[in-house]
Amino acid sequence: MMRYKRFFLQLIIILLFIGLVGILINNLIINLIRTDLGFNFYWLLKPASFALSEHALPFSPSDSYAWALLIGWINSLKVILFSLIFSTILGIIIGLSRTSKNILIKKISSFYITFIRQTPLLLQLMFWYFVGFLGLKNKFINFSNILKINTQGIEFFGLSLTPEFSALFIGLSVFTSAFIGEVIRGGIISVEKGQWESFRSLGLSERDGLIKVIIPQALPAIIPGLTSQYLNLAKNSTLAIAIGYSDIYAINDTIINQTGRAIECFIILLLTFLILNLSITNLMEKINKLINKKQIYIN
Amino acid sequence: MYLKKINKNFKKFREILLLNSLNNFLTIILVFAIFITFLQTFNWLIVNSKWTAVTTNIPLFVFGTFPEDQRWRPFIWIMSLLTICFLSIVPPKWKWLRKNLLIAWIGMIPLGIFLLYGGFGIQTVMSRNFGGLTLTILLTVCSSMFALPIGIGLAFCRQSSLFVVKKLSSIYIDSMRAVPLIAVLFFGQLLIPLFLPLGLEIDSVWRAIFAFTLFVSAYIAEDIRGGLQAIPHTQIESAKSLGLNHLQIIRFILIPQSLRIALPALTNQVIGLFQNTSLMSILGLVELLGIGRSILANPKFIGQYIEVYIWLASVYWIICTLLALMAKYLEKRLKIA
Amino acid sequence: MHKLLSGIAFLSLLISGCSSSYQKDTSRLDLIKKRGELICGVSGQIAGFSFLDNDGKYKGLDVDICKAFAAGIVGDAKKLQYRPLTATERFTAIKTGEIDVLSRNTTFTLSRDSTGGNGLSFAPIVFYDSQGIMVKKESNIKNIQDLKNKSICVGSGTTTEQNINDVFESKAIPYNPIKYQDASQVSASYLQGRCSAMTSDRSQLASARSGFPNPAGHIILEDVLSKEPLSPASDGTDNKLADALRWIIFTLITAEEKGITKENIDEKVKLAKNNPQLKSLRRFLGVDGGLGEKIGLRNDFTINVIKATGNYGEIYERNLGENSDVTLSRNSNKLYINGGLHFSPPFN
């Protein structure tokens, strides 16, 4: 009797779910017919007829929408990758400063973390872009031709970055670093106090002890937190549209505006993000496994 | 001999001036940097800054385009929210009030809707006139109040022994967490109308609340699930032995315990939600950041970016810090209790 | 078991409810009248056309057109809601029925007007514009050839973006487009030196320039990139609403032609009522002929419209005239009798 009841309950839930989805799709079809929007992906092969200032691969307005979307993806991945590296470095510095013995450093880093975390990322991005880069006007920051920062962006060893990219990259890195800093601090704190005393008694210096003893033990606690911060970083990169960087979301937005294909573009956006998420999660899991294996060797 | 002396002198020199350790050296540099930053900021504040964009538009920042003679309505609502926040932190002496705090919190939504939209004797105001901080708060309060029960439900569904329930809720939670918020909001603003039957319209504020609720409930569900997993199994066993049934265990043991454990994470969700309402400025609602953008577009105030951004940042910062402090206080109190 | 049955019954009820609601396809015009309120999509970011004033009210030419629509359809210019829209949102907002009318600096083009394209229907042109390029005087840029390999700030997803692309591509001049979502960001980035030039409709360039700290330091190049006829739009499948909108705009133009203003409208109505021989005036003001009914409005809708906003010339003067914040000379936007392009078919 109990098993039948469970079976029926599940059946009802499935039916309700299918019914709900059915109603929504039914409405969608009715609305698409009513508004003559239709549903297909043939438009992907039509020429995009808009120009892009930032493209890693050759792009001209007569290329197809599909190619424009690919360019958008490359732009997104570029900014995600750059910010990922930089925010990790910055986050480690912040996290270590939080556990530092120097009171001033500790206070500054904790102020940094609270301030960054208590203001919206979108506002920070606008600040970096409109005040940080465009506000420079003609005031150059120029370190003997190696590093140049002005309204036209950053130039570093001949590698020139546009202000849109730079503002997004710095904004995302700074924002994420505050979160990564907390993750790192949490990891270091999770290591037992006894471990610190034991390496000190072994005569290792503070720095050596931190690198050789504490961090390897903190890593298993850090990696999951780090993964979710990386995922957030990737998702947050879609705010690029607010400061004129042509990432995948911004290009989807332009295409929707030109073609009216909102549903199709939305599906493309969702699918690509699901794939990106899965790949980041898998990659981090592999790193996690690798670390765990090494730990066994060390022990 | 001579060399040794130099060496000795040099060491002394280093001890006095460089204070021999890297730590103190860093301290000096930092103090110097802070000093310069303060000096520059102070100089800018006194000499160069122009605050007209902020000072002449304070009512706009708070109430948006809400009709001028009706502004007491959002004001009352915000004030009552503040009062109830205060009451939740510092518990009142009257027992009946303490017991009914939850009801009061839930009652804030209909009160807010009544005060903002009007009707029943007071002038109706359309949601298109909502804006500024009022709208930001409306979005945050409504979305978080709706998302909490849904999130709790999802968390329990994910732990359910029914295969279908478990699969459906985990698919929902995982896919929602994989998608950028702006895409969900975009869905809410532009695509929801396509899924509704002709003639049925939901106004844009409610569509935004709906989208935020969809998004945040998935995150809350994961936090609650974490709380549920942290509850020791012995508690459930002992509750069973006391003769509590399944629903009673959920109501009296699992929900309050998991909420208490997940409280810090939940606070972070609310703070995050409050900040993320700013994304609506990209999608056409003039909430706090949106008002800032509109004001910067006015030819009278063009170029006052730094001032407006600093002002907005401090408003967000103050409110978020208050929320965080409140949560910390509540956490401490719950631990003692 | 009865749970299951009731569930299925509930579902089938819902589905049938949805499909039946599709059957009655009424015009939006009736919906607006029933609702007693018009929902108008505006930009909210362009001085002179639609922007938020200090007192929290929308002002500008586009906004006044919205008021005229509300006065004509509902009978009261205050029965109106504004919905600020980004360039991306605007067409979807019409198609999904979120707004009734779009009055947001929208260029009238074939693909937007057609069922195979965006599926809209455009009302008569309310502003004749053309696309131009603004540069800083000190930059010594004289024509578009000088803009080779320079950055140009442009609003994304607009015809502006496509036009500049067409012109530069046809002349084989490479350039660097920097795209922003809204107009205020375009001018802000240009001002702050991100781009050597900004491009937009000439009216918007002039409007933006009027707000700059040093308006004389910027020049609009002679090169005209495109024609930009701006006009309000509505859903293309709804002819009844489109007709009503069309004739409300023509009302504004005819009123200027006949010298009817906000001030003298009452006099003119009295005049028309007392003089049966003034046939054309009587038809226009709805005393005779029953013209309003034919387009689903009240016969005296013209009176409501003129009382609310005045004639086209008054609207222009108020928002873009010499005493306004943004001064733009009328040029093509004069009536045809004065050498401009505005012309209304007869109210017969």
Q: Is the pLDDT of residue A190 over 90?
A: no
Report the number of distinct structural domains present in chain B.
2
Residue A96 sits at the chain B interface (C-beta within 8 Å)? no
Of B125, B151, B172, which marks where a domain is finished? B125
Which residue among A50, A241, A260 sits closest to C162, beta carbon to beta carbon?
A: A50
User: Which residues lie below 8 Å from residue A90, measured CB to CB, with a gap of 6+?
Assistant: A173, A174, A177, A180, A181
Would you call B197 and C191 a contact, using CB atoms and an 8 Å cutoff?
no
CB contact under 8 A, A50 and C185: no
With contact defined as 3+ CB pairs under 8 Å, the chains touching A are: B, C
CB C209 within 8 A of CB C103: no
Assess whether pLDDT exceeds 60 at residue B50: yes
pLDDT tier at C4 (50, 70, 90 boundaries)? very low
**Nearest-CA distance A220 → chain C (Å):** 42
Minimal C-alpha gap between C180 and chain B (Å): 11
**Whether residue B121 is found in the same domain as residue B139:** no
What are the tokens at A51?
Answer: 């120009």
* Domain end marker among C165, C198, C227: C227
Tell me the C-alpha to C-alpha distance, in Å, between residue B306 and each of A239, B54, B112. Answer: 20, 11, 33
Confidence (pLDDT) at C23:
39
Q: What is the pLDDT of residue B189?
A: 86
Instruction: Determine the pLDDT at residue C62.
Output: 95
Give the pLDDT confidence score for residue C5 in this predicted structure: 45
Q: Does residue C237 sit in the same domain as residue C116?
A: yes
Contact C96, A256 (CB under 8 A): no
* pTM assigned to the model: 0.81
Domain enclosing residue C41, as ranges: 28-126+231-334
Q: How confident is the model at residue C98 (pLDDT cuts 50, 70, 90)?
A: confident
Considering chain B, what is the average pLDDT of its residues? Answer: 84
Chosen domain end from B83, B105, B125? B125
Averaged pLDDT for residues B132-158: 93
Same domain, C122 and C235: yes
**Angle subtended at Cα C156 by Cα C154 and Cα C162, rounded to the nearest 5 degrees:** 80
* Residue from A1, A23, A32, A35 whose CB has the most chain C CBs within 10 Å, to mutate: A35
Q: Are residues C209 and C258 in the same domain?
A: no
Q: What is the pLDDT of residues C225-246, one digit of tens each?
A: 888 899 999 998 899 999 999 9
Q: Is the pLDDT of residue B230 over 90?
A: no
- pLDDT of residue C19 exceeding 50, the answer is no
pLDDT confidence of residue C292: 92
Same domain for B72 and B98, yes or no, is yes
B49 touches chain A (CB under 8 A): no
Inside any domain, residue C242: yes
In this prediction, residues A106-124 reach a mean pLDDT of: 92
The residue-averaged pLDDT of B27-32 equals: 83
Residue numbers in A near C237 (CB within 8 A): 34-36
What is the distance between the alpha carbons of residues C185 and C205, in angstroms, rounded to a whole number? 13
C226 in contact with A, Cβ within 8 Å? no
Whether B119 and B163 map to the same domain: the answer is no
**Residue-range definition of the domain harbouring residue B82:** 68-125
For residue C207, being part of any structural domain is answered with yes
In the predicted model, is pLDDT for residue C200 greater than 80? yes
pLDDT > 90? residue A86: yes
Residue C16 lies in a domain: no
State the Cα torsion C302-C304-C310-C313 to the nearest 10°.
-20
Reported as a single tens digit per residue, the pLDDT across A231-285 is: 999 999 999 998 889 999 999 988 887 787 888 999 999 999 999 988 988 888 8
A270/B289 touch (CB, cutoff 8 Å), yes or no: no
- Is A144's pLDDT higher than 70? no
Look up the CATH number of the domain holding residue C209. Answer: 3.40.190.10
Per-residue pLDDT at A176 exceeds 90: yes
Residue B13 pLDDT class (50, 70, 90 cuts): low
Burial zone of A49 (CB within 10 Å; 0-12 exposed, 13-18 middle, 19+ buried): middle
The whole-number average pLDDT for the span B286-291 is 90
Residue B162 contacts A where some CB pair is shorter than 8 Å: yes
Confidence band for A199, pLDDT divided at 50, 70 and 90:
confident
Enumerate the residues of chain A whose CB falls inside 8 A of the CB of residue C11.
Answer: 15-16, 19
- C9 lies within 8 A of chain A by CB: no
pLDDT value, residue B136: 94
Residue B213 has a pLDDT of: 96
- In 3D, which of C278, C342, C294, C348 has the Cα closest to residue C316? C342
Which residues on chain C are in Cβ contact (under 8 Å) with B300? Answer: 54, 211
pLDDT tops 70 at residue C20: no
Asked if A235's CB is within 8 angstroms of B181's CB, the reply is yes
Share the mean pLDDT of chain A: 85
Does the beta carbon of A2 lie under 8 angstroms from any beta carbon of chain B?
no
What torsion, rounded to 10 degrees, do the Cα atoms C224, C229, C230, C232 define? -160
Within 8 A by CB and 6+ apart from B239, the residues are B248, B249, B252, B253
Q: Taking CA atoms, what residue in C is nearest to B299?
A: C211
Partner residue facing C45 (CB), from B68, B189, B297: B297
Residues B77 and B164 in one domain: no
C147 and C221 together in one domain: yes
* pLDDT given for residue C1 in this prediction: 40
Residues C158 and C104 reside in one and the same domain: no
Shortest Cα distance from C273 to chain B (angstroms)? 38
Same-domain pairing of C166 and C309: no
> Residue A65 pLDDT > 70, yes or no?
yes
Quick check: B215 contacting A, CB < 8 Å? no
Domains of chain A and CATH, by start: 62-298 (1.10.3720.10)
Chain C from 286 to 345: CB within 8 A of any B CB:
325-326
Q: Which of A19, A135, A246 sits opposite C11 (nearest CB)?
A: A19
Mean pLDDT of A151-180: 87
Asked whether the beta carbons of residue A53 and residue C180 sit closer than 8 angstroms, the reply is: no
Contacts with A, B 318-337, CB within 8 Å: 320-321, 324
Contacts B31 to A, Cβ<8 Å: 104
Q: Give the confidence band of C89 by pLDDT, cuts at 50, 70, 90.
A: confident
How many domains in chain C? Answer: 2
* Domain-embedded: residue C296: yes
| Chains adjacent to B (≥3 CB pairs closer than 8 angstroms) | A, C
The average pLDDT across C143-163 equals: 86
C285 and C329 together in one domain: yes
Window from A263-277, B114-128, B215-229, C96-110 with minimum mean pLDDT? B114-128
Give the pLDDT of residue B142.
93
Residue B178 in contact with partner chain A when CB distance is under 8 A: yes
Q: What is the CATH number of the domain that holds B172?
A: 1.10.3720.10
Q: Which stretches of chain A sit within 8 Å of chain C by CB?
A: 8, 11-12, 15-16, 19, 22-23, 26-27, 30-31, 34-37, 49-53, 60-61, 130, 133-135, 137-138, 151-152, 163-164, 241-242, 244, 246, 250, 253-254, 256-258, 260, 262
Q: What is the ipTM of this complex?
A: 0.88
Which tops the pLDDT comparison, A298 or A158?
Answer: A158
pLDDT at residue C326 greater than cutoff 70? yes
Q: Give the end of a domain, one of B125, B141, B157.
A: B125
Q: Residue C22 domain-assigned?
A: no
Q: Which band of pLDDT confidence, cut at 50, 70 and 90, is reported for residue C15?
A: very low
In a domain, B255, yes or no: yes
Residue A296 is predicted with a pLDDT of 54
Label residue C125 by pLDDT band (50, 70, 90). very high
Q: Identify whether residues B101 and B166 lie together within a single domain.
A: no
Q: Do C101 and C218 share a domain, yes or no? A: no
Chains touching C (3+ CB pairs < 8 Å): A, B
CA distances from B259 to A32, B50, C25 (A): 43, 46, 49
Tell me, yes or no, whether C36 lies in a domain. Answer: yes
Last residue of a domain, one of C198, C227, C256: C227
Q: Given this model, what pLDDT does residue C11 score?
A: 47
pLDDT tens across C213-228, in order?
788 899 988 888 888 8
Residue C191 shares a structural domain with residue C275: no
Q: What is the pLDDT of residue C234?
A: 94
Q: By CA distance, what is C186's nearest residue in A?
A: A244
Of B103 and C24, more confident: B103
C-chain CB neighbours of A8 within 8 Å are: 1, 3-4
C10 found inside a domain: no
Q: Is C189 on the interface with B (CB under 8 A)?
A: no
Enumerate residues 159 to 188 of chain A having a beta carbon within 8 A of any beta carbon in chain B. Answer: none
Which stretch of DSSP H or E encloses residue C98?
none
**Are residues C35 and C101 both part of a single domain?**
yes
Specify whether C195 is located in the same domain as C237.
no
Min Cα–Cα distance to chain B from A56, Å: 24
Closest among C76, C310, C301, C255 to C319, alpha carbons compared:
C310
Q: For C249-289, what is each residue's pLDDT tens digit?
A: 999 999 999 999 999 999 999 999 999 999 999 999 999 88
Probe site for chain B from C85, C90, C184 (most B CB atoms < 10 A): C184
- Does the pLDDT value for residue B115 go beyond 80? yes
At residue A294, the pLDDT reads: 66
Average pLDDT in chain C: 86
Could you tell me if C97 and C52 lie in one domain? yes
DSSP three-state, residue B271: helix
Judge whether B7 lies within some domain. Answer: no
B201 and B89 within one domain? no
Identify the top-confidence range among A30-39, B184-193, C14-23.
B184-193
Choose among A131, A242, A273: nearest Cβ to B282.
Answer: A242
Whether C3 shows a pLDDT value over 70: the answer reads no
What is the reported pLDDT for B15? 53
DSSP state letters, chain A: -HHHHHHHHHHHHHHHHHHHHHHHHHHHHHHHHHTT----SGGGGSB-----S--SS---TTSBHHHHHHHHHHHHHHHHHHHHHHHHHHHHHHHHHHT-S-HHHHHHHHHHHHHHHTS-HHHHHHIIIIIIIGGGTT--EEETTTEEEETTEEEETTEEE-HHHHHHHHHHHHHHHHHHHHHHHHHHHHS-HHHHHHHHHTT--HHHHIIIIIHHHHHHHHHHHHHHHHHHHHHHGGGGGGGT---HHHHHHHHHHHH--HHHHHHHHHHHHHHHHHHHHHHHHHHHHHHHHHHHHH-
The angle formed by the CA atoms of residues C73, C79 and C80, to the nearest 5 degrees, is: 90
Q: Which of C179, C206, C227 is the last residue of a domain?
A: C227
Does the beta-carbon distance from A15 to C92 stay under 8 Å?
A: no
List the single residue in C18, C46, C211 with the smallest CB-CB distance to B302. Answer: C211
B-chain residue closest to A273, CA distance: B179
